[in-house]
């Protein structure tokens, strides 16, 4: 079984550890010089950042979803580190290669930078569901790896996604979860998100509000 893969805005190859703009374990300091808690948002890719086009393997087909570019820019401007964790079973199913996915990742990184934001890393599971790996969401393998490499507490992160597996992924980590959906799913339909937002810009503001409440008064 192949290892879960990671890529970043750097030039590291498949499976190598890259670094985004934020270094390992860094936290910002406010104007008062008081150390601020690290702020990390874990994002799904398809249906959250970009329009979900199934097993897309052409970088030219990547297109931001409604208000996604604005949401990424706003989160970055507020000091959040942005990490993409995505299931890409098209590789395991034989629909496209890792090289094609790496080209997609490079295009996504460029799109995010053009929006005025930056990704700290892109982590992906290449396996088909039947592989029973520990990196396909909602399993925690990729989150543990991202946390170790980038230096953050998964339970203090915010997880944003459009699928039940994304929400279950966040809940297993003890993170705050936000579902991208037009409305909340009916009761009993699966893992319940802490919040529901119609797009990534709305989710960004919800994430900031949730983090502020969690941090409490200073």
Which tens digits make up the pLDDT trace of 181-203? 988 877 777 779 999 999 999 99
- Whether residue 117 lies inside any domain: the answer is yes
pTM of the model: 0.84
- Whether residue 93 lies inside any domain: the answer is yes
- Residues involved in catalysis: 44, 46
Whichever domain contains 193, its CATH number is 3.40.50.1000
- Whether residue 12 lies inside any domain: the answer is no
- Whether residue 24 lies inside any domain: the answer is no
- Whether residue 153 lies inside any domain: the answer is yes
Residues facing 207 on adjacent strands? none
pLDDT-derived band at 173, boundaries 50, 70, 90: very high
- Whether residue 125 lies inside any domain: the answer is yes
Query: DSSP letters of 61-128?
Result: G--BPTTHHHHHHHHHHTT-EEEEEEE-TTTTTTSS-HHHHHHHHHHHHHHHHHTT--EEEEEEE---
Give me the number of domains the chain comprises. 1
Domain span at residue 74 reads 37-215
- Whether residue 200 lies inside any domain: the answer is yes
Tokens of 11: 């030039």
- Whether residue 201 lies inside any domain: the answer is yes
């Amino acid at each position: 079984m192949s290892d879960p893969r990671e890529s970043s805005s750097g030039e590291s190859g498949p499976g190598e550890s890259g670094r985004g703009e934020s270094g390992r374990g860094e936290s910002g300091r406010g104007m008062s010089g008081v150390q601020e808690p690290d702020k990390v948002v874990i994002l799904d890719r398809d249906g959250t950042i970009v329009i979900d086009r199934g097993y897309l393997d052409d970088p030219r087909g990547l297109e931001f979803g409604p208000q996604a570019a604005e949401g990424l820019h706003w989160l970055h401007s507020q000091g959040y580190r942005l990490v993409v964790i995505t299931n890409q079973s098209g590789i395991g199913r034989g629909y496209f290669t890792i090289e094609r996915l790496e080209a997609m990742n490079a295009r996504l990184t460029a799109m995010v930078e053009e929006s005025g934001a930056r990704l700290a890393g892109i982590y992906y599971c290449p396996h088909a569901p039947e592989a029973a790996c520990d990196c396909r969401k909602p399993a925690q393998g990729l989150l543990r790896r991202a946390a170790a490499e980038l230096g953050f507490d998964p339970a203090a992160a915010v997880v944003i996604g459009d699928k039940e597996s994304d929400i279950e992924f966040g809940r297993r980590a003890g993170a705050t979860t936000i579902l991208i959906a037009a409305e909340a799913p009916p009761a009993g339909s699966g893992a319940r998100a802490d919040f529901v937002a119609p797009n990534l810009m709305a989710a960004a503001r919800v994430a900031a509000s949730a983090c502020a409440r969690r941090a409490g008064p200073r």
